[in-house]
Amino acid sequence: MVPSAPQRPLTSSSQCSRGATLKIKTVKIVNFRSIVDETINLSKYNSFVGPNGAGKSTTLHALNVFFGEINSFSDEDFHARNTEEPIKITVTFCELGEEATEEFRHYARAGQLIVHAEISKADDGSFKRIIRGERLIFPPFREYFEAATARDRGIIFKNLRERFDGIDAATNDGDRSAALFKYEEELPEKQKELVPSGGEFFGISKGVHKFQRHLCWVYIPAVKDASSESEEAKTSHLGKLIQHTIRSRMNYDAELERIRTEALDAYSKLLSDQTSHLGDLQARLSERLQAAVMTEADLQLTWKTDEKSVSVQDPIAQVLLSERGHVDRVDKFGHGLQRSFLLVILQELMAVDNTVSPTLILGCEEPELYQHPPQARHLAEILMELAAGDSQILLTTHSLYFVDVKYFDGIKVFRNVFGKATVSSSSFSEVIVNYNAAFKKPLQNEDQARTKLAIQTQPKFNEIFFAERVVVVEGVSDLACIEAYMRLSGKKSEFQKSGATIVVCEGKSSLALMILIMKSFKIPYHAIFDCDSEYDEKFASNPDKFREPYNEHIRDNDAILELSGHKKIDGFPADHIFLSNVTGWRFNIERTLEVEFGEDLEACLQSGRDAVGNLRNSRKHPLFIAASMSTAWKKGKTFPVLQKLVERILA
C-alpha cells in the first residue's frame, strides 16, 4: 500500500514526543535460530530463565532484527539452516498513547499495533529484510492498494468512486490514496478487516522513522564495550542523557557561531596577507604552461576558502571513572564497574526524561555478570524500579535476584529439546482459577495469592525456575530428614548433580499452590506432605471438636493427589502413600522417624535434645533431626522408608 524505501533502524534518539507510550505485548518468532515457532507474551518486567543454549538470547536477538540492530544475516540464522522458509518476527504493541494512536491510525486497532519483520534468502544468496504492518482496510479498497502501477490505481480509483458515494475527487496518486484513507476512517470497524500491508510499513518509508518518537530499544549484551558509552555521541546513552538533561537548557549556538565567524575572518585575513607569495609562483607556472602548449593558456593560483576550513565543534562530554582514588577512562576499570556505569546512565535517563523520552524497552543479557551478590541484588531492584515506571524490561538471567513473584507473569522458562527451543509461562489469574477449583477456601485475588506465595516460599521460590526438578515439602522437618538421609547415605552428590532443589511450603495449601505453578511451567516435581491420619481417631473420639480439621485434611490430601494426576482417596490412608510424583506420610515425618528409630528411640531423641539445648518444641528443628538420625545411622538404622522416597526423587 505504501512504496518501500531504504531501510533504517526502527529506533533512534534524535526525536521524541511528550506523553508517548508504546510497549510490546507479544513477540512471535518463526524459523529464527533455535526457535521454530513460539509466541512470547511480555509484561512490564520479564525474566528469561533456562540453561545455556535454551533460546533466551534468541528472543532478544529477534528484537534486534526487528528494530534494525542486526542487518547482516547468514544461513545459520534460519532454524536448522532452512532458508526455504523466511524468518518471521511479529511484534504486537500495546498501550498506545494519544500521539502514537494518531501516528499509526491506519494500522492501530483496538489499542494495538501489529508489525511484521521478514527475512528471506534470494536466489543470488543475498538476504532481504522487509517490515510490514497490519492495517484495517475496507475490503473493496484492497485491490487499489495492491495495484502495481499508478495507472492501474487510477483506473481502480475511478471505479471505486462510481461504486461508493463520498470518496473525494483526486487527480494524482497521493491524493487518491489520501481520499481512500479518509473514506476508510469514517467507516465503522465492523466493515473493515485486518490485512498485512502490501508495501513496507510506512514508518520505514518516511525520512525519520516514526517508531523513534514513541519507543527506544536498547540492547545490552553480556559483554559490551562500556568505553563506547563513556563519550557523548548521538547514539550513545550518555549522549541521550546529556541531550535531555543539559543541552536542552544550554544556549550556546549563538556564541559558537560568533566564534566561528571571528575565526573565519581571521583565517581569511591570514590568507589575504600571504597572497603575494602565491603571485610569484603563479607567474612562474603560467610562463611554463604557455611554453608547453600551442594554444593560449594560463592559470591562476589562489588560496581556497570555505566555511569548512575553520571548524568549531560543539562541546563533547566524556566520563572518567574513579575507584579508590584512581581516576581513568571507563575501559581501564573492571567489567563490574563498567556494567554498573551503563545501567546508571539508563536509570538517570529515565529519571530525568520521563515526560520527554520515548518508552525505554531495555533488553539486557545476564545483568548479574561481574556483580558481587549485594550489587546484583541492588541492580535487580533498580531494573524493577524502571519497570514500575514507564519502561519495559526484558532480561536473560541465571540469578535468583532477577526473578520476583511480583512479576510472576513476566517469568519465561526456556528449554531446548533436540535443538528446538520452547517457552513456558503462566499467569496468576490462571493459577488462581485452578487453585480455587481445588479448595473450598478460595483466594480472592492475585494480590492475596502473591502475598501467600511470597511469605511462605520466598526466597526458595525463585529456585524452582532454575532447577531441573523440584521437591516441594510441607514443612522444614521434611527438608531436614531428606537432607540428613542423603548426607548419611552418600546420595547428596547425586541429588545435586541431578539439578534438583527442595522448597519448603509451610502448609498443604501453599504446597498445592506450588504444584499448580510448577505444572503451568512444565517443571518436573515431587510433592511430600503429611496426611495427618491421626485426625481419624480424634474425630471419632470428639466429632464436634475435630470435625473442621478432619474435613480440611481430607480435602487438602485429595486436592494434592488430584492436582498431581492421581485419584482421590476420600478419607485417610491406612499407610504411607508412595506414587511417582507424590509421597504422603500416613501421619507426619516425625512419627515416621520414631518408627524408624525402633528400640533406639530414646537414645536417638536424646542426641537431638543434646544438639539443640533447651529449645522448646525442638522435634522439628533441623539440628535435632540431623543429630538423632546420625545416632540412628551409627546404630545400624538404614531408614528404608526414606530410602524408598529418595529413590523415587532421583528416578
Assigned C-alpha cell, 64: 534486534
pLDDT of 457 above 60: no
- According to DSSP, the β-strands at 87-94 and 113-121 are antiparallel
Query: Residue 104's pLDDT is what?
Result: 82
Query: Residue 378's pLDDT is what?
Result: 86
Cα angle 513-517-522, degrees, rounded to a multiple of 5: 145
**pLDDT tens digit string along 141-151?**
888 887 888 89
Of 618 and 365, which is predicted with more confidence? 365
Of 587 and 349, which is predicted with more confidence? 587
**Nearest CA among 175, 192, 22, 167 for reference residue 106:** 192
CA torsion angle 506 507 512 514 (round to 10): -10
pLDDT of 464 above 70: yes
Assigned C-alpha cell, 502: 527442595
CA pseudo-torsion sign 61, 66, 72, 77: positive
If you average pLDDT over residues 259-264, what whole number do you get? 85
pLDDT of 241 above 60: no
Classify domain 23-42+56-213 at the CATH topology level: Rossmann fold (3.40.50)
Query: Residue 224's pLDDT is what?
Result: 55
**Nearest CA among 592, 589, 597, 588 for reference residue 636:** 597
Number of other CB atoms surrounding residue 639 within 10 Å? 21
Q: Say if CB 207 and CB 139 are below 8 A apart.
A: no
Q: Percentage of the chain with pLDDT > 90? A: 47
Of 133 and 599, which is predicted with more confidence? 599
pLDDT of 203 above 50: no
How far is the C-alpha of 493 from the C-alpha of 478, rounded, in Å? 19
Q: Say if CB 473 and CB 642 are below 8 A apart.
A: no
Assigned C-alpha cell, 557: 490430601
Q: Say if CB 20 and CB 100 are below 8 A apart.
A: yes
pLDDT of 309 above 80: no
**Nearest CA among 619, 564, 631, 615 for reference residue 588:** 619
Q: Say if CB 56 and CB 9 are below 8 A apart.
A: no
Number of other CB atoms surrounding residue 553 within 10 Å? 21
If you average pLDDT over residues 219-241, what whole number do you get? 59
**pLDDT tens digit string along 474-490?**
999 999 999 999 999 99
- 522 pLDDT tier (thresholds 50, 70, 90): very high
In terms of average pLDDT, the best of 80-89, 101-110, 254-263 is 80-89
Residue 318: DSSP 8-state: B
If you average pLDDT over residues 186-193, what whole number do you get? 84
> Amino acid identity of 38?
E
Of 440 and 83, which is predicted with more confidence? 83
**pLDDT tens digit string along 121-165?**
999 999 998 888 887 778 898 888 878 888 999 999 999 999 999
Q: H or E element: which one contains 626?
A: helix 622-634
- 294 pLDDT tier (thresholds 50, 70, 90): low
The rounded radius of gyration (Å) of the Cα atoms in the chain is 35
Residue 461: DSSP 8-state: G
- What is the chain's mean pLDDT, rounded? 84
Query: Residue 207's pLDDT is what?
Result: 27
Query: Residue 596's pLDDT is what?
Result: 92
pLDDT of 450 above 90: no
Of 424 and 142, which is predicted with more confidence? 424
The region of weakest confidence among 334-338, 374-378, 508-512, 584-588 is: 334-338
- Domain ranges in the chain are 23-42+56-213, 253-309, 427-650
